[in-house]
Chain A
C-alpha cells in the first residue's frame, strides 16, 4: 500500500531553469510533509518541510507547495544548479512514523 507516491522516477532539467518534483499521498491523516535529498553513498539530507496548516513554504531556492484537497505536494527549485543533481524523496508524517515515496532522480544539465 503506497501511501506516498512519486510518479516520476527521473527528471532532467537545464541549469538555470526550474525543477518541479511532484508527490501524491493518500492518507488524509498526514500532518507534516518533508523533502529529503540524497547523494550516492550518503544518507538522505533534510531539505525543506511544510505543515498541513500551510500551503507554501520557502527557503532560498527551494519552495514546497501543498494542495490538501488534491493530496498533492511539489518541490520547486529555482534556479536549478548542477549540484542539485540527486535523488529527492518526499515523506509524510502521521505521529511518530515517516512514510517515504520511492524517490525521483533529478539531473541538472550544465
Chain B
C-alpha cells in the first residue's frame, strides 16, 4: 500500500509570492491534516480536512488555506509569502482523523519551503 505522497519535496520562493503544496493520502484515508515544522517549535497544526470539509483549524493567519478534493487529495496554499514561512510542511492522513485506537495519522516526507 502506497504511503502519503507530498509534492514537491523542495521549493524556493521569494517574499510576496504564493505557493501551492500537494498531498496524496493513503488509499482509503479520508482525513488529511497539515502541519508546519520549524526548528524548536515542533509540529504546529494548520488545518484538517475530512470529506472535502475543513473540520479543524490551527492558529495561523488567513494567508494559509487549503482544500480537499473528492478523491481525498489535498492542497495547501500560502499567499503573500513571508520570510518566516520558511519551514517543513507536513501532511498526514488517517481513516477518520480521530487519532484513537486503529486510527493513526501517517505522515508524508514533507515539502521544504524556503522563502528568500
A residues apposed to B, CB below 8 Å: 6, 9, 31-32, 34, 36, 41-46, 49, 51, 89, 91, 93, 95-103
Residues of B within 8 A of A46 (CB): 104-106
A45 touching B35 by the CB < 8 A rule? no
Of the candidates B41, B98, B101, B105, the one whose C-beta lies within 8 Å of that of A95 is B98
Residues of A within 8 A of B56 (CB): 95-97
Given A96-B50, A97-B45, A101-B42: A45 in contact with B99 (beta carbons within 8 A)? no
- Which residue of B is nearest A100, CB measured? B43
B110 touching A96 by the CB < 8 A rule? no
Give the 10 A-B residue pairs with the shortest CB-CB distance, closest first. A43-B107, A93-B99, A102-B42, A100-B43, A96-B97, A100-B42, A44-B107, A43-B109, A97-B56, A46-B104
Chain B at the A interface: SS class: strand
Of the candidates B96, B105, B108, the one whose C-beta lies within 8 Å of that of A98 is B105
Residues of A within 8 A of B33 (CB): 97-98
- Which residue of B is nearest A2, CB measured? B42
A43 touching B108 by the CB < 8 A rule? yes
- In the complex, which of the residues B33, B40, B99 has the most CB atoms of chain A within 10 Å of its own CB atom? B99
Given A51-B101, A98-B33: A44 in contact with B90 (beta carbons within 8 A)? yes
A99 touching B45 by the CB < 8 A rule? yes
A96 touching B99 by the CB < 8 A rule? yes
A89 touching B99 by the CB < 8 A rule? no
Given A31-B100, A32-B99, A89-B43: A96 in contact with B107 (beta carbons within 8 A)? no
Residues of A within 8 A of B26 (CB): none
Which residues of chain B (68-105) have a CB below 8 Å from chain A?
90, 92, 96-101, 104-105
